């Protein structure tokens, strides 16, 4: 390449291979244009769903964070259901998509539609740092080769999102209401059963509980006092009639001893009742704590049931959080891809570079000394005489005609390419 050291030498090299350069550039431009035209067009249809907050705020279980988390989970479930295989296959069948590809499988159809369809959440950029922020809208975009089909598919997905949102919220409200109703019935039955058990327990152990226990203690004190009085009488009667065989005294003594034995039995029974009273109290306290626990659960379930009923009423009257169509998808007028102008422009540039590389390679493979400067630079010899190449008038005329026609053809081709790409 040191032979091409000046602009004149470089320009002369390109002039010598102008035909090859023109052929390479023409072939490259034609190939790039053909490639750009052969690429299938893609049209993007966009529909927007606005997420409206509830007009009447229903009571929610938990704080605002848990409410936002449930709403985000609800959105995720809706998106998954809309983009599910069965739903996409139904859309493909209804719109007769991919009919021009008879050998494509259902899985490939679903995969292709998932690539072309997207559900994008729109959130406030100022609150993007919050992981629990609720989106304000959903953008549904569909890319396809037919603008009308893309718009229809986008609107179908919008309708699916609305239907899934409505059905899902009604299902959740109905399921929650049914659950709370069943729990209310179960807890009510458990409470009634436990109340009956407590009543029977109190009736059975009334003497060892509260007022009954106080009476038993008073009764035990009286009985012990009576027992002491009988003991005193027995001692006096025995001491005053020692050695006597009086029948009346003996009968009285036997009577007093019999009464004392009965009082001893009564004292033992009353003492036993008083001793087991703490255990009875503990059992009763356990039953009452269980009753209080069930009662608290019943109150919570009743409150949640009322909230579920309110949520169901709001869904029925369409006063709860809802999705509204903000923009329906319309058939786009211009394709979003491919960028044929850019492809054609890059093809022209690459074609020119390929032609330049070809000229350089030919010059390197054929190292001929063509000028006096090259002779002196390459061999270190100075030419004695230089015979120039002289063109006659006819040759100069044909060269001018050739260059004029070439420039005109190049200009017309360039204009044709630009016009074609801009129109296409």
Q: What percent of the chain has pLDDT over 70?
A: 71
**Distance, first Cα to last Cα, the chain:** 42
* Predicted confidence (pLDDT) per residue in 289-310, tens digit: 899 999 999 999 998 888 888 8
Q: Which of 327, 350, 381 is the last residue of a domain?
A: 327
CATH number, domain of 279, equals: 1.10.287
Q: Within a domain: residue 2?
A: no
Burial 55-66 (b: 16+ CB within 10 A, else e): eeebeeeeeeee
Those residues with Cβ within 8 angstroms of residue 42's Cβ, 6 or more apart along the chain or in another chain: 143, 144, 145, 335, 336, 337, 338
Q: How many domains does the chain have?
A: 3
224 is a domain residue: yes
Please tell me whether residues 159 and 271 are part of one structural domain. no
Tens digits of per-residue pLDDT, 181-208?
899 999 999 999 998 888 887 777 765 5
- Cis peptide upstream of residue 338 (ω within 30 degrees of 0): yes
- End-of-domain residue from the set 265, 295, 327: 327
pTM: 0.57
Residue 199 sits in the same domain as residue 131: no
Q: Which domain holds residue 140?
A: 43-179+323-327
DSSP-assigned letter for residue 320: S
Q: What are phi and psi of 269, to 5 degrees?
A: -65, -45
Domain assignment present for residue 333? The answer is: no
| Judgement on whether residues 407 and 344 belong to the same structural domain of the protein | yes
Structure tokens at 334: 């211009």
Q: Are residues 148 and 272 in the same domain?
A: no
DSSP letter string, 53-86: PPSSPPP-SS-HHHHHHHHHHHHHHHHHHHTSHH
Residues 120, 159: one domain? yes
| Residue pLDDT, tens place only, 252-301 | 777 777 887 887 787 777 676 666 666 777 777 888 889 999 999 999 99
Convert the pLDDT of each residue in 139-187 to its tens digit: 999 998 888 999 999 999 999 888 888 888 788 888 888 898 899 999 9
Q: Are 150 and 204 found together in one domain? A: no
Task: Give Cα separations from 37 to 45, 121, 347, 417, 421 (angstroms).
Answer: 22, 35, 12, 11, 9
Could you give the CA distance from residue 163 to residue 384 in angstroms, rounded to a whole number?
A: 96
User: Based on the domain organization, do 16 and 127 belong to the same domain?
Assistant: no
Do 133 and 247 lie in a common domain?
no
53 and 29 belong to one structural domain? no
61: in domain = yes
State whether 239 and 303 are in the same domain.
Answer: yes
Q: Are residues 23 and 35 in the same domain?
A: yes
């Amino acid at each position: 390449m040191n032979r091409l050291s000046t602009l004149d030498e470089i320009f002369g090299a390109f002039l010598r291979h102008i035909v090859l350069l023109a052929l390479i550039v023409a072939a490259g431009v034609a190939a790039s244009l053909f490639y750009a035209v052969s690429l299938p067009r893609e049209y993007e249809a966009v529909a927007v769903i606005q997420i409206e907050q509830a007009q009447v705020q229903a009571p929610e279980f938990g704080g605002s964070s848990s409410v936002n988390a449930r709403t985000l989970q609800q959105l995720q479930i809706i998106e998954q259901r809309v983009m599910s295989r069965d739903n996409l296959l139904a859309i493909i069948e209804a719109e007769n998509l991919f009919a021009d590809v008879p050998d494509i499988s259902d899985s490939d159809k679903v995969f292709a539609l998932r690539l072309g369809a997207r559900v994008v959440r729109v959130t406030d950029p100022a609150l993007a740092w919050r992981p629990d922020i609720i989106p304000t809208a959903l953008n549904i975009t569909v890319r396809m080769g037919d603008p009308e089909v893309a718009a229809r598919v986008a609107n179908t997905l919008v309708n699916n999102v609305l239907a899934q949102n409505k059905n899902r919220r009604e299902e959740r409200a109905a399921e929650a209401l049914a659950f709370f109703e069943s729990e209310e019935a179960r807890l009510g039955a458990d409470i009634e059963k436990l109340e009956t058990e407590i009543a029977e327990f109190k009736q059975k152990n009334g003497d060892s509980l509260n007022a009954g226990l106080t009476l038993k203690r008073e009764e035990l004190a009286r009985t012990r006092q009576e027992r002491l009085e009988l003991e005193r009488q027995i001692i006096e009667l025995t001491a005053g009639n020692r050695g006597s065989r009086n029948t009346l005294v003996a009968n009285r003594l036997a009577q007093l001893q019999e009464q004392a034995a009965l009082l001893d039995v009564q004292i033992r029974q009353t003492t036993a009742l008083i001793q087991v009273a703490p255990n009875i109290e503990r059992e009763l306290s356990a039953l009452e704590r269980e009753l209080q626990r069930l009662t608290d659960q019943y109150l919570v379930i009743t409150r949640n049931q009322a909230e579920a009923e309110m949520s169901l009423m709001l869904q029925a009257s369409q006063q709860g959080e809802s999705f509204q169509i903000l923009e329906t998808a319309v058939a786009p007028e211009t394709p979003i891809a491919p960028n044929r102008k850019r492809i054609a422009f890059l093809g022209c540039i690459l074609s020119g570079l390929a032609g330049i590389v070809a000229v350089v390679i030919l010059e390197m493979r054929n190292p001929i000394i063509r000028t006096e400067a090259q002779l002196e630079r390459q061999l270190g010899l100075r030419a004695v005489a230089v015979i120039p190449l002289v063109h006659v008038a006819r040759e100069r005329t044909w060269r001018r005609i050739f260059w004029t026609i070439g420039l005109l053809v190049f200009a017309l081709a360039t204009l044709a390419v630009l016009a074609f790409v801009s129109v296409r």
